[in-house]
Structures are given as structure tokens and as C-alpha cells.
Amino acid sequence: MAPYEDKPTLTEFGAFSKLYAKVNGKLAGKVNANSKVRMPLAITIRDIAKKAGVSVTTVSRVLNNKPDVSKKTREKVLQVIADMGYSPNAMARGLIWRKTLTIGLVIPDIGNPFFAEVAKGVEHRARERGYSVIFCTTDSEPQREQEAIELLCSKQVDGIIVSLSVESRSVLERLEKQRFPVVQIDRKVPGSNYSAIAVDNVASAYTATKYLIRQGHSRIAHITGDMNTKTAQDRLLGYKEALSDWGLRLEHQLIVHGDFSKGSGILCMEELLSRTPLPSAVFVGNDLMALGAMEAIGKHGLRVPDDVALVGYDNIDLAASLQLTTIMQPKFEMGQLAATTLITSIEKGEPAVGDIILDTMLIERKSSAATVL
Amino acid sequence: MAPYEDKPTLTEFGAFSKLYAKVNGKLAGKVNANSKVRMPLAITIRDIAKKAGVSVTTVSRVLNNKPDVSKKTREKVLQVIADMGYSPNAMARGLIWRKTLTIGLVIPDIGNPFFAEVAKGVEHRARERGYSVIFCTTDSEPQREQEAIELLCSKQVDGIIVSLSVESRSVLERLEKQRFPVVQIDRKVPGSNYSAIAVDNVASAYTATKYLIRQGHSRIAHITGDMNTKTAQDRLLGYKEALSDWGLRLEHQLIVHGDFSKGSGILCMEELLSRTPLPSAVFVGNDLMALGAMEAIGKHGLRVPDDVALVGYDNIDLAASLQLTTIMQPKFEMGQLAATTLITSIEKGEPAVGDIILDTMLIERKSSAATVL
DNA sequence: TTGAAAGCGCTACCAG
DNA sequence: CTGGTAGCGCTTTCAA
């Protein structure tokens, strides 16, 4: 009648764990199957102690590499642990240590290659430092962002890496008051003091737009990301500044609002294709939308870059294959850095200071080339 | 001197939690800052009880929606909980319930859009059912697969969704012995009894190859995925069977082994491009490698499909944009189904039975079109 | 060098 | 309907 919900410890139950009789007190003695005493659902430190003929304290000492254990005892205990395949219950430890060695990751969408790559960086670095990662996706909906954070807090994660919409400021403020370790990634919530790992979106959007202008374009459209994010706002800003600096008129009908998804890229591009005269170039808020834009352009029998030049943002894997000119940002490294920053902050017991702004780079490819390669 | 490592409960500390004096026994009385008594690091159920003027038992009842609490008391307690922003410590609960409402997800690479989409499906469904997801990546290295599973077990997850290399059979067997809930996704470890959510890789690879043959190709190469996975083995098998059924000779020099990564796609294609005569078509083990293959082909001044036709596998987002013919498999749905299956198994207390094989579909696009669109 | 015992925050059992 | 109390599995005093 082994209960299915047993917690695993990667061992089969040995002869040792057939029936559990409480010994340290009232209930010692034989316990039959009908007893109300709950069976231990996995091997515990007590099982190890008994088998090794030592106290739980000693086992605990071995487990935690404390001194004050004779070499002989230590080896004996280690042996039993290996034999039984015991692994300590992280929850029980967490209760005492007030540490779970787990961090939270709150991102809009793991399906977006940008965030997938960021998540990869986070997970890799976290693993190196001995932490696990619980991830939550929010589609940048403030409601879900808050729920995710509350959930992670109740799960007692040691810290959280977040990428939030601008509306989640109050949530962050509450965490700040408790001095809870948080690091922002990709987008910083305005007014929040938590440090962020990001790029200069204004400057790089400016660069992208300037580049198109220099290519001879004067009717340049922009498909924005989710305007609820600082990222999208900043990229729009950079676009506007570039136009302004080069004396180009800002045409509101050339700015359409997407949400960073490929689908929205299609829709937005469709809309732009109905404008007359047609824009000759589009700075798209991210690569995923640029993908959609390409599809829309193709569907209308037009060609990139001949009819419409395109510049994206992110340099996700497919940008190279698609010959999409784009702004490269170091996604994996951002994830790694965020994890490093957060974990250091957790372990030092003090908040990270200052933002880390990483470099971006314009990568020129066919989608915007004046001359076809 | 508020310690930074405080566990957050989304509340600022109220006047209530300035200093904590043990009351239920020995240590009652004033406790000064030098005391060895650890300060409570977050609001606990006892704080709520005290503030509401009831027992912890009653608060617990309210927390768990048990009956046997008068409406008035319940409301009072709820009010205090809301006021203090209390949220129960999931670890303490987990210790008792032997449930963490957390599941593990072990995948090779979150950076691969296929797995990112699967992960998305898992997370969405898990959230709907009240579970969180810890994810671990392994690059299909058996060592890391085992470590990931052991880690997740020690974190007491309620179950695990895995996508493993064929070598991890023994690890699964140990989990099986303990009747620990596991569901396999995408690839099934041969010999394991845990049910899997996957597609028929042999049949679909057969379909893809057959399709190329029907397009008139007779020199068809294959770039395999990581041959340590059942997925890659099966796709190779389907490829071979199709060749055989159509009386085409199997040329070993036309089979090169990649690892499902884009980089390996480039390398493998380079290798194929050195063959003479050139294969006129390549069935690539997944879209990511097909991406790489396309780049390699372009770099050599050749064109798709005129010089080399390409068929991929997965139908990731960019396949549409790249006009890549591919085998579609329902990634998001696979993730959802795996989560549903696992959680149902966890909650019913019995293993899921049988595999779920989902339908695939050949999606024809330009990369293999006989006539350019 | 060892072990007994007191909890971490919570739920479950029992008695009122 | 309510409250006291014994643990969940572990670490950490403190005493031997």
C-alpha cells in the first residue's frame, strides 16, 4: 500500500522503512496499517541516524559539512546516506534557514525568443550558483504580474528577477519596503529603485532610425511594442528624437501600436500598408513583430527591402536567417548578469546598487540594404 | 536593523512586528537586540491570531476555508489578514501536506523555440491548476538530467515533466519504484513505463521524406538531431524507411549528425555541401537546424529550393516567415496536456496510463516547392 | 566528539 | 464553534 504521493529520494525503500513506529515518546511500539500515525513518506534524517547508529544531530553535522565529527563516524554516515539514497528535505531546511535556494523569474512570455534566451541565461547562472528557478509568465498584464509576485513570495523564493509593465510600480514599492531582493531585467518600472539590467533603448532606437534615414529613407514608420512597457516607450522615444534631429516630420499615422507578438506585427504592418504614400521603411519594436511584418509584406506581393525596408530589435536567432537588420542586445548575458546580481544581493544581504546598461549594436543585413547582396 | 533577508509578504511591517517576545514558554519577556532569539522574519499565523484575538487554529481554519468558524470570526480574521498583508508560508504548509503545488520541468534547452513553446503550455496549464513550475535545462547531457531530477526531488516537487536522453532510463526506473509522478514529453525513454505526450516521429519523418521523393528528389540527405534522443533516432528511422520503401539507396555519407541546435545545422549542412554529387534535398531533424542549414546554403551562394530543397520539423514561428516546409507538431498543446496529465496523476494518486500521441501535419512552403511561388 | 531537545510556521487532532 | 498541542523534517543551541 505504498502511497503514490511519496516524496522521492531516488531510492527504493529498503527493508528499513517498512513500518514506522514512533519511538521518541508516547506512540512507541508496533503500529499496524490502520493506525492513524502517518507513515513517513520518504527516508528522513532519522532513518539515517538509526541505521548508522548515531543521533540525528550527527547526521545533520555530516550533511552540512560541519567539523566536530570524527572521521570514522562521518564516513559511516556518508555510507548509509549513499546506500539509502537519502537526500535532505529542502522544505524542512528552508523553514529553518529561511532560504530556499530558489529564485523567481517573472517575464511576459517565454514563447518570445528574447525572453527564452534571457531565461536561459538566468537558469544557467542560477544553477552554477546553486539556485533553482521558478518562472511565471504574465503577458505583461498588471494583474498577473502582481499574482505572480505574490505567489513567488508565498513560495518563499529568496529573490525575484522581474520584467514588468509600468503599472506594477506599487507592487515593487511594497517589496522595497521589506527590502526584498529584486532585480529588474530588460525593462525598468519608472520610479522603482530596484536596479535593472538593460540596454539603452532610447539610444539604440535612435541609432536604428538614424541608420534608416542615412539609407535615404524619409518616410519611416514605427511599430511599437506594448506601450505599457518602458521598453516600448523608450524605443518610440528614440525613434521620435531621430526624426526630429534630422528635421523629418513626425507623422502619427506612421506610428502603430503592437504588443511585441508576431501576430501584432502582421496586423500593424497591414495597417501601415494601407497608408498612402507607403512608408519606405519601418523600424519595428522587436524582431518577432518584424517577422510578422515580413509576412504581411510578402502577402501583399511587396518585397523587403525593395518596397519596404525593415529594421528590427533583439537579434533573435532567426534574424540572421531572415536577413533582418536589427539591434543586437546580449540576451543570454543579460539573464546571467541579472542572476548574478540578484544572488549576490541575496547573499550579501544588501540591495544591488545602480543599473547595468549593456551595449547594443546595429547589425546590418539584407532587410534594409540599399543594394541587394 | 531590519534584515535584508526578510521573507516578503507584500506588506510593510506594521507596529505589530517590532520585536518578538516568545510568550508560549520559557523565553517570554522583553527581548533586546542582542538576544539570541531569532526575530520572525515575516508575519506569521501567530501574529494574525494575536491581532485578531483568536487562536492559530482558528486562523488556520479560515486560511483553509474549513467550516466550523462563525461568520463573524471568519470575517474578523480575513480583515486582519488583509490589513497585514499576510500570506501563509508555503514551505511550512508543504512540510505538513507533503505537497508543494510545484512541479518540475526538465528540458534540454529553453532557447530552442520548440521547448520554449512547450514550456509555455506547461506553465499556463499549471497556473490554471494552481501549480508553479521550476525548470531545469540539461542540453540532453545524462549527468545534468540526473542532477536536475535529484534536485527537483529534494525540492519536494509534486511531480516532474521530463524530456530526456535515452540514457536516463535508470533514473526513471528509480522514480518508478517509488511511484513518483512523472510524465514524459516529446521523447520517451525506451523501456520506461511513464506515459508520454508526443508525436509519431517515425511516421512523420516518413511523411516528410516521402514528400520529398514525390517532389522528384532522389538524392535526399538527412541531418539528424542529437542521436542520444529517441526523437532523433525515430526521425532517422522514418527517413530510412521511406527511402527503402521507394527503392532509394541509403547513402551513409548523406546522413550527418547534428544536435538540434542551429549551430550544428550550419556545420552539418557545410558537410553535406562538400558531397558530390550534391544532395538535391535535405530532411532536417528540426527547424532550428534547418535555419542553420539555410544560412550555410546561402553562404555558399546556393539557393533554397532551387539548389537544395529543405524540409524541417517543429513548425516553430520562424518557419512560416522563412517559408520553410516543415512538420507541424502542437507544441503548446503538448505542454498543456503534459501538465494536465501530470497534475491529474498527482491528484488522483495514481500513475497516468498510456501514451498520448498527437497528430502532426506536413506544412508545405517555398523551401521545398517545385515551382517558385 | 556526541546527543537531547527546542523550535522554523503551519495543520491536524483532540478535547472542551 | 473554539483552542491547546503534537508534530512535518530539519538545524541549532546547550549540555554532557
pLDDT in tens, A45-72: 999 999 999 999 999 999 999 988 899 9
**CA angle, corner A334, sides to A124 and B331, nearest 5?**
60
Whether residue B295 contacts residue B304, with contact meaning beta carbons closer than 8 Å, is answered with no
Average pLDDT value for chain B = 87
**pLDDT tens per residue across span B200-229:** 999 999 999 999 999 999 999 999 999 999
Q: Which residues contact B55 (CB under 8 A, 6 or more apart)?
A: B49
pLDDT at A125: 98
pLDDT, position B41: 55
Longest dimension (CA), chain A: 90
- Four-residue CA torsion sign, B173, B176, B180, B186: positive
The cell for B296 is 550555410
Residues of chain A in contact with residue B301, where contact means CB-CB under 8 angstroms, are none
Please state whether strand D lies within 7 Å of residue A63 at its CB atom: yes
pLDDT in tens, chain B (373 residues): 333 333 333 322 222 222 222 222 222 222 332 222 333 358 899 999 999 999 999 999 999 999 888 999 999 999 999 999 899 999 999 999 999 999 999 999 999 999 999 999 999 999 999 999 999 999 999 999 999 999 999 999 999 999 999 999 999 999 998 889 999 999 999 999 999 999 999 999 999 999 999 999 999 999 999 999 999 999 999 999 999 999 999 999 999 999 999 999 999 999 999 998 999 999 999 999 999 999 999 999 999 999 999 999 999 988 988 899 999 999 999 999 999 999 999 999 889 999 999 999 999 998 887 543 3
> Whole-model pTM?
0.88
Omega before residue B277 within 30° of 0, cis = yes
| Nearest nucleotide (CA of B22 to C1') | C7
Cβ–Cβ of B135/A136 closer than 8 Å?
Answer: no
The sheet with strand A159-162 has its strands ordered as A356-358, A196-199, A182-185, A159-162, A102-107, A132-137, B132-137, B102-107, B159-162, B182-185, B196-199, B356-358
The answer to whether the Cβ–Cβ distance between B134 and A134 falls below 8 Å is yes
What confidence score (pLDDT) does residue B327 get?
98
Enumerate the nucleotides of strand D whose atoms come under 7 Å of any protein CB.
1-14
The answer to whether residues B344 and B132 touch, using CB atoms and an 8 Å cutoff, is: no
pLDDT digits (tens, 9 = 90+) for B153-192: 999 999 999 999 999 999 999 999 888 999 999 999 999 9
- Write out the three cell numbers for A26: 508516547
In the structure, how many helices (H) and strands (E) does chain A have?
Answer: 13, 12
State the number of CA atoms in the 13 A half-sphere of B342 facing the CB.
34
Shortest distance between the Cα of B88 and any Cα of chain A, in A, equals: 6
- In chain A, at which residue ranges do the beta strands (DSSP E only) sit? 102-107, 132-137, 159-162, 182-185, 196-199, 220-224, 255-257, 281-284, 309-314, 325-328, 356-358, 361-363
The answer to whether B317 contacts A174, with C-beta atoms less than 8 Å apart, is: no
Chain-chain contact of B10 with A150 (C-beta, under 8 angstroms): yes
Work out the minimum CA distance from A364 to partner chain B, whole angstroms. 16
> Looking at CA atoms only, how far is residue A19 from chain B in angstroms?
16
What are the chain B neighbours of A155 within 8 Å (beta carbons)?
90-91, 102, 132
Which residues from A are below 8 Å from B175, CB to CB? Answer: 8, 10
* Residue of least CA–C1' distance to D11: A96
Radius of gyration of chain B (CA): 28
Q: Provide, in whole angstroms, the distance separating residue A110's CA from nucleotide C8's C1'.
A: 35
A64 vs chain B: nearest CA distance in angstroms?
A: 15
CA distance A103 to A105: 7
Q: Flag if A10 and B85 touch (Cβ within 8 Å).
A: no
Asked whether A172 and A182 are in contact (CB, 8 A), the reply is yes
For residue B103, which amino acid is it? I
**Whether A197 contacts A343, CB under 8 Å:** no
Strands A356-358 and A361-363, bridge-based pairing = unpaired
Closest CB to A8 among B134, B178, B318: B178
Residue A197: closest CA among A367, A307, A332, A52: A332
Comparing A84-93, A228-237, A326-335, the range with the smallest average pLDDT is: A84-93
CA distances from B264 to A2, A117, B42, B260 (A): 46, 18, 50, 7
Best probe of the A interface among B125, B155, B287, by most A CBs < 10 A, is B155
Closest residue of B to A171, CA-based?
B10
- Mind listing the pLDDT tens digit for each residue in B2-29? 333 333 333 222 222 222 222 222 222 2
**Are A179 and B4 inside 8 Å of each other by CB?**
yes
- Shortest distance between the Cα of A146 and any Cα of chain B, in A, equals 10
Spanning CA of A173 to C1' of D12, the rounded length in angstroms is: 35
CA within 13 Å, CB half, B57:
3
Please tell me the distance from the alpha carbon of residue A243 to that of residue B214, in angstroms, as a whole number. 53
Residue B28 in 3-state DSSP? coil
CB B164 within 8 A of CB B184: yes
| Residue A93, CB, strand D, below 7 Å | yes
**Which residues are CB-contacts of A90 (< 8 A; sequence separation ≥ 6)?**
A100, A101, B154, B155, B156
Percentages helix, strand, coil for chain A, rounded to the nearest 5?
45, 15, 40
Q: Do A9 and B178 touch (CB under 8 A)?
A: yes
Q: Which residues in chain A have their CB less than 8 angstroms from residue B85's CB?
A: 174
What's the order of all strands across the beta sheet hosting A220-224? A255-257, A220-224, A281-284, A309-314, A325-328, A361-363
Q: CA-to-C1' distance for B24 and C14, Å?
A: 20
